[in-house]
Structure 1
Amino acid sequence: MDWSWLPEYLPRFAEGLWLTLQLLFWSILIGMSLAIPIGLVQVTGPRPLAWLARAFTTVIRGTPLLIQLWLIYYGVGSLFPSIPGIRESFLWPVLRDAFPYAVLAFSLSVAGYEGEIMRGAFRGVPKGELEAARAIGMSPFQVLRRVWLPRALQNTFPTLTGEFILTLKATPLAATITVFEVYGIGSIVRQETYKIYEPLLFVAAIYLCLTGILVLGFRYLENRIPKQSRS
């Protein structure tokens, strides 16, 4: 094993790690913001929106993330340069970068998978708790915010943790559209140093550490939620 290359490439790995964390953060934040209403509307309706939500989750869960990523980057992304004036607009620096397309693809993936999980979680909350909340005069929004959503999230935390870890482990796919996160930097190291195993082992160690942090963080939140829901 030869690790003499590591000090030279550590700054680039730090940049790749920062990009990985950004991709994971925005994907989970945007994805969960979409997943909650996607799951809720399948339980409450109206029926046309429930059908649309069900169709969305079916498409997302039934197609590979890599294909979704390429369709968004090479398909949607290729349309913008042909729009008159777009290259001169303030949006062009964002639209020409691959990172926003990666965030969009991963966010939709999170929304599709977690939306189906949230559907089951909302349906699994005992009706008696919701009826009791309505009986004491809570509005529908208060019932959702104070009872229904916290109980649904509490029931799904172990599953959500596993899904977010899978999202983390899927981030290397972003390297296929020139988003050089941790795995992308590892690929550059392999090409420039002709080292095969050492960069891969180093990248694997980084992902292992990130996974451990995610597990500990969500375990802490999981232990906190029951206390909050009883207060």
Structure 2
Amino acid sequence: MFEDLIYVLGKYDTWLWRGFLLTIELLVISVTFGTLLAIPLAVARVSKKLWIQAVPFAFIYVFRGTPLIGQLFMMYYGVGQLISNIDGIQDHWSWAYLRNPYWYCLLTFVLNTSAYVAEIMRGGIQNVPSGELEAARACGMTPWTTYSRIIFPRMWQMIWPAYTNDVIFTLKATSLASTVTMMELTGAARKIVARTALPYEAFISAGVIYLIIVYTLTFGFKGIERYLRRNERRKDKQPGTAKAASA
């Protein structure tokens, strides 16, 4: 088995490398745009007006309440089929993009990520201490200034561990892209199995790469978490605090 594993890593390293790059690309774009979309959704979810809450609530409920693979199939086979049936679309310049499963996968992952992150952000916003919000209003801060200087910084401090878990979830979710012919890391492993009939060696190779990515993400996000909580550590070190006194 060890010899077969070396054989797979040596001969099909290019396939695994390309799958790795596509996995990282899907992850980075999905998390980036999903997070950007989640911000207005989360702000709308904490609104006191029901009609403002309705649309983001429905969006989040649908994408969090249905399987991701079902969403991917609906996007690729459903929306993609509807688009392909449009008269003249196959002669249009956009068909080169619309027939590519990459864009359907990316859109699905972005929307799914935004739904989960928006709900995480909503919890963080609602848990911002009311005293800080009252102090912001007393200082005459506008709602935009309050969000940018008080709410969002405190929110990120509280939700960062949950946000890290969601990023790792998105990484593992990118493996579903192989079900619609995408050659990301899992798709590359399946292609190697079809070529070599060595399933254990192919998927062990892909699994090790996934573990390396997860470890790297966890290490990096832990560093960001320490940076976000730097002020708390400074307070703990100040003379007179409970932790400083106990030390």
Query: Does residue 83 of the first structure (1) align with residue 62 of the second (2)?
Result: no
The answer for the alignment partner of 2:20 in structure 1 is 17
Q: Secondary structure at the match of 1:44?
A: coil
The answer for the alignment partner of 2:150 in structure 1 is 147
The answer for the alignment partner of 1:73 in structure 2 is 76
* Aligned counterparts of 1:214 and 1:5: Cα–Cα separation in 2: 26
The answer for the alignment partner of 1:166 in structure 2 is 169
CA contact (8 A) 2:84 2:90 kept: yes
* Aligned counterparts of 2:103 and 2:145: Cα–Cα separation in 1: 34
Structure 2 residue identity aligned to 1:222: E
Structure 1 residues without counterparts, runs of 5 or longer: none
TM-superposed CA distance for 1:52, in Å, is 1.7
The answer for the alignment partner of 1:116 in structure 2 is 119
The answer for the alignment partner of 2:41 in structure 1 is 38
Query: Does residue 101 of the first structure (1) align with residue 104 of the second (2)?
Result: yes
* Aligned counterparts of 2:31 and 2:43: Cα–Cα separation in 1: 18
The structure 2 residue matched to 1:194, chosen from 190, 194, 197, is 197
CA contact (8 A) 2:30 2:109 kept: yes
Q: How many residues align?
A: 230
TM-superposed CA distance for 1:84, in Å, is 3.2
Fraction of identical pairs, as percent: 39
* Aligned counterparts of 2:91 and 2:230: Cα–Cα separation in 1: 53
TM-superposed CA distance for 1:6, in Å, is 2.1
TM-superposed CA distance for 1:138, in Å, is 2.2
Q: What is the TM-score of this pair, normalised by structure 2?
A: 0.88
The answer for the alignment partner of 1:26 in structure 2 is 29
CA contact (8 A) 2:15 2:188 kept: yes
Q: What is the TM-score of this pair, normalised by structure 1?
A: 0.94
* Aligned counterparts of 2:39 and 2:116: Cα–Cα separation in 1: 11
Q: Secondary structure at the match of 2:229?
A: helix
* Aligned counterparts of 1:56 and 1:228: Cα–Cα separation in 2: 36
Structure 2 residue identity aligned to 1:76: V
* RMSD (Å) for aligned C-alpha atoms: 1.7
Superposed CA offset, 1:100-144 (max 9, x none): 110111111111111111111110001221221232232211111
The structure 2 residue matched to 1:62, chosen from 40, 62, 65, is 65
Structure 2 residue identity aligned to 1:171: T
CA contact (8 A) 2:9 2:205 kept: no
Q: Secondary structure at the match of 1:84?
A: coil
Moved more, 214-223 or 3-12: 3-12
Structure 2 residues without counterparts, runs of 5 or longer: 235-247
